[in-house]
Every structure is written in structure tokens, then in C-alpha cells.
Structure 1
Amino acid sequence: MEINNEPKVNIFGKFAPTAILVWEFLKIVLIALIIIIPIRYFIFQPFIVSGASMEPNFYNAQYLIIDELTYHFKEPQRGEVVVLIHHFQTNERRSDGKEFYIKRVIGLPGEKIQIDNGRVTIINDQHPEGITLDEPYLPNQGITYPHDPKIVGGKKTITLSSDEYFMMGDNRLASSDSRDWGPLKRADMVGRVLLRALPITSFQLYTKSPVYSP
């Protein structure tokens, strides 16, 4: 049996221990990226509240975690708080502008939403005559008005198609929402609010869909 006594060549020389440490570190980083990137872009996403449209339930600069996965398996439910994309026209020829908003799901596909005398009425198959929406999360005694100077204190009715949702902020007097820019398409929902992480004194986990009539 032949024995190979040729000396082994170490291409790193005296730097071999350092090179091994660097390689191990790079492997850890690579594995972390393989795990974190899909989670960050396809499962959970951070979101910072901007503005007062969801007060008193969510305040400016609060740090939220958005669940992007659930809506791939179930439909949005009334009362859920959602981060959405609102598309707008940047000039006469282009409509590629977009902004992220946080709003609450009020109207579901196929329903009629009626805003009358400061109240929201839902008309659907279960309530063909309409039923006033119970909204315990609202400030100002639940008063809601259309965002139309011609209808202040009056009535407005919106009919939703099979893929449309009516969204509103909880602070109805300071919210730009579906009253201004119309119903939201299902594809424009980023995900539902799962967690309020910061400030730590306001930490809250939202695991169950709220149940509000109708």
C-alpha cells in the first residue's frame, strides 16, 4: 500500500483560523437570509402608523406587524384592521402612484353600505332591509358622515361588487378612506394587523377577528 507523504498545501497559510471563522460566519448569514427574507416579504411585514385616522385605537408612530399570510387562505372579515395600498393618479397619463394606509374593514363584497344621519347601515342577504352597524371601537359616539360637502348630514349609498371592500378609519372626522376614493379591491390588501409591538406599553396581539354585527 502506498502512503502519500506529500505535504498538504494550506492556501490560507497562517490566516487559516481566521478564514474558517469568516466562512462559518458567512454560512450563518446566508442561512439567516434564506429564512428571514421569505418571512419578511411573504409572511410578516412591519408597518409604522402615520397620522391620526385610526385614533383612538392606533396612534401615530406606533410600530405594527402585519400578517400577510392569512388572507391567502381566508377572506377579510368585517371589523379587521388592514394595511392596504391606495393607488392614485400622479398625472393625466399615469396612475402608478400608491400609498399605504391602515383602515378597518366595514363593507364586504356584494353588500350595500348606507351612510345616513351619522350612522352606517349594512344591506346584505342576511339583512335585506338593512341593519345599523355596531361599532364600539369608534370615538365621537360613532358618528360617521360622507366626505362630500353636498351630503353633509344626508345619505349616501355605495354598492360593492364581488371583489370590493369598503374601508374606513376609526377617526371618521380625520380619515381619508373609501368615502373619498371608493371601494378597495381584494388584491390591494397587504394584510391584517397581527401585533402592535411598540411602544411596549401599548403592546397587543390581535389573534382573533373582531365580531361586530351584522
Structure 2
Amino acid sequence: MKIVKPIIDFVMDILETVVFIGSMFIVVYLFILTPNQVKGASMENTFRTGDYILTSRITYKFRKIERGDVVVFKSPKNPDIEYIKRVIGLPGDVITISKAGVVKVNNIQLLENYIAATTNLWDGGCIKDNVPYTVVAGYIFVMGDNRPRSSDSREFCAVPVENIIGDVFYRYFPSNVIGVISNPLPKSIR
């Protein structure tokens, strides 16, 4: 009996530790950080299929969404699908895109060194050639960095802010591109 009690105490200590660590993991996962895997080519060359990223669920509780942020959000067409896109327009912004691929926000051309191909327009989409599109309150306008291969606000219009899961702030795989994800836009136009 003297040997059994220390073994039971030891097992209980381990069990308490496992439950505590598991509880902390669940809290962090549900309320603070969410790991995501990039699927699809819509954010190339910034992200590639198979990249692993961390999404902060609390960033926007401490600061406002900015143009240039990369966000993960629930699709406005199907809430079971999550997208990763870059914020281009904020509530009240006026977006215009020309057939030549020029993107303007509030009549200022975006200089987007993070995109590899020019911006195209979608037939039947929300944006028409040089026709101003105003982002209404409570919504954001998003586009993928790989414009020809991205389903985004050009197609399904602005996204409700409530659909945002979080801000992509860190890539942890593959090892050759590990690091913090920074906003490439100048502070003056964020």
C-alpha cells in the first residue's frame, strides 16, 4: 500500500499537468492564435500552397484594420470556407480598377510591389472598368496578391468585417521563409 499511494499521486500530478496544458492550448487556439495552412494560388507570391501561418484573433481588438493587412475570413458565399486575402479598401473608401490593371483607392493609385501580375476584372463581378465602388460601413474590400487566380471582392463584393477571423502575422513553415508578415503599404495610405 505504501508503494501504490506515491504512484497514484504521481499519475494524478501528470494528469493535472496534461489537463492544464490542454486547457491552455484550447484557450489560445479558440481566442488568441489560430494556425492555418494556405491552400490555393490566390496569394502567390506572398504565400504558396502548403505554407503554414499563424492568425491572430485579437489584433483588431487593439488596433483598426489597415489597408495592406493580410486577413483570414469566412467566405461571404459559404461560411464553411476560409479565405486569405489582402485588405485593399476600408469602410467609406472608393475603389476603382481599370482594365489596364490600375487599382485606385480614394483616387490614389496603389503601388503594389507584392503582386506579380496586373489586376484583372471579373465578368459579372462587383467592379466594372473605372466605375467607382464605395465600400459601405462594416465591410472591407479584399483581393488576393495573385490577381488572375484569386476569387475576391472583385467577384463577391466587399466582405463583412464580422467575417474576419484574424490578421495573418507569422509564417512558420517552410523554414526558408519563416518570419513576421509585415504590411508593405506606406503608413500614409494604410
What is the TM-score normalised by the length of structure 1?
0.80
Q: How does 1:126-141 map to 2 (within 5 A)?
A: 130-140=107-117
Deviations 1:51-73 (A, max 9, x none): 00000110001110111111112
Structure 2 CA distance, aligned partners of 1:152 and 1:26? 57
Which of the numbers 57, 66, 83 marks the counterpart of 1:68? Answer: 57
Quote the Cα distance in structure 1 between the aligned partners of 2:127 and 2:167: 31
Report the secondary structure of 1:155's partner residue. coil
Please report the RMSD computed on the Cα atoms of aligned residues, expressed in angstroms.
2.1
2:176 corresponds to which of 167, 190, 201: 201
The residue number in structure 2 matching 1:175 is: 150
Measure the CA separation in 2 of the matches of 1:153 and 1:167.
16
Larger gyration radius, structure 1 or structure 2: 1
Tell me, in whole angstroms, the C-alpha distance in 1 between the residues paired with 2:116 and 2:157. 23
**Residue 86 of structure 2 corresponds to residue 104 of structure 1:** yes
Deviation at 1:149, TM superposition (A): 6.2
Q: Which residue of 1 aligns with 2:121?
A: 146
From 98, 105, 124, the counterpart of 1:122: 105
Distance 2:140 2:128 in 1: 23
Q: Distance in 1 between matches of 2:178 and 2:19?
A: 31
Letter of the aligned partner of 1:176 in structure 2? S
Three-state SS of the structure 2 residue aligned to 1:187 is: helix
Do structure 1's residue 21 and structure 2's residue 10 form an aligned pair? yes
Indicate the residue corresponding to 1:40 in structure 2: 29
Percent identity, aligned pairs only? 33
Unaligned 5+ segments in structure 2 are none
Match of 1:127 in 2: none
AA aligned to 2:110 is: L
Secondary structure, aligned partner of 1:87? coil
Aligned length: 187
Secondary structure of the 2:80 match is strand
Distance in 2 separating the partners of 1:161 and 1:119:
22
Give yes or no for contact 2:42–2:149 (8 Å, CA) kept in 1.
Answer: yes
Residue aligned with 1:98, SS:
coil
Aligned to 2:29, the other structure's residue is in SS state helix
> What CA distance in whole angstroms lies between the structure 2 residues aligned with 1:151 and 1:86?
15
Alpha-carbon distance, 1:211 to partner: 2.8
